[in-house]
């Protein structure tokens, strides 16, 4: 039976020689991010809106590079936050090192989008207006009138 993960502590408090992963919540195994082209046209931003209409998707910007972030757990992540296929894990996992991992929870992106509405706000700020035929927001629902008998 696998032991439960140790309580998360500050990186600097991890005992010398201990494995940081013993204290981690395995954030790196709970998402993947793919680089995407920087959106330069309304059509690109509409694709981005489409991404964000899907559950567990977001877009972030870091060092002028845009990424599609998919919040999904690796199917081999074990209850103790360890890899169930460690000896045969993919190369990308082998190259990932705790020196640069996101152990701390205070990472801030240069830009972050979670909703299609945030993309609309970005479009309006960037282009200063949107032509009527390019409007992305759904119309506000009309107030329903009470039914009279």
Q: What is the pLDDT of residues 115-146, one digit of tens each?
A: 999 999 998 888 776 655 455 556 666 666 66
In a domain, 15, yes or no: yes
Q: How many domains does the chain have?
A: 1
Identify the three-state secondary structure at position 17.
Answer: coil
Task: Find, among 72, 82, 76, the residue nearest to 21 by Cα.
Answer: 82
In a domain, 75, yes or no: yes
In a domain, 144, yes or no: no
In a domain, 6, yes or no: no
Identify the three-state secondary structure at position 109.
Answer: coil
Secondary element (H or E) of residue 35: strand 32-36
Write the pLDDT tens digit of every residue in 54-92: 999 999 999 999 999 999 999 999 999 999 999 999 999
In a domain, 66, yes or no: yes
First to last CA, the chain: 67
- Mean pLDDT across the chain: 87
Q: Note the pTM of the prediction, 2 decimals.
A: 0.76
Query: What domain range is 97 assigned to?
Result: 11-130
What whole-number distance in Å separates Cα of residue 110 and Cα of residue 105? 16
User: Over 40-108, what HEC string results?
Assistant: CCHHHHHHHHHHHCCCCEEEEEECCEEEEEECCCCCCECCCCCECCHHHCCHHHHHCCHHHCCCCCCCC
Task: Find, among 67, 66, 83, 107, the residue nearest to 30 by Cα.
Answer: 83
In a domain, 148, yes or no: no
In a domain, 30, yes or no: yes
In a domain, 147, yes or no: no
Min mean pLDDT across 12-16, 43-47, 76-80, 99-103 is at 99-103
């Amino acid at each position: 039976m696998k032991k439960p993960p140790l309580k998360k502590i500050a990186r600097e408090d991890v005992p010398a020689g201990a494995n940081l992963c013993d204290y981690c919540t395995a954030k790196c195994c709970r998402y993947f991010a793919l680089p995407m082209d920087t959106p330069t046209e309304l059509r690109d931003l509409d694709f981005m809106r489409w991404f964000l209409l899907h559950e567990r998707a977001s877009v972030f910007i870091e060092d002028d590079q845009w990424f599609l972030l998919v919040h999904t757990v690796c199917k081999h992540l074990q209850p103790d936050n360890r890899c169930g296929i460690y000896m045969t894990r993919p190369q990308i996992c082998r190259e990932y090192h705790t020196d640069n991992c996101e152990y701390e929870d205070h990472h801030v992106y240069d830009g972050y989008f979670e909703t299609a509405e945030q993309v609309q706000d970005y479009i309006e700020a960037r282009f200063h207006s949107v032509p009527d035929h390019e409007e992305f927001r759904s119309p506000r629902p009309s107030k329903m009138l009470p039914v009279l008998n």
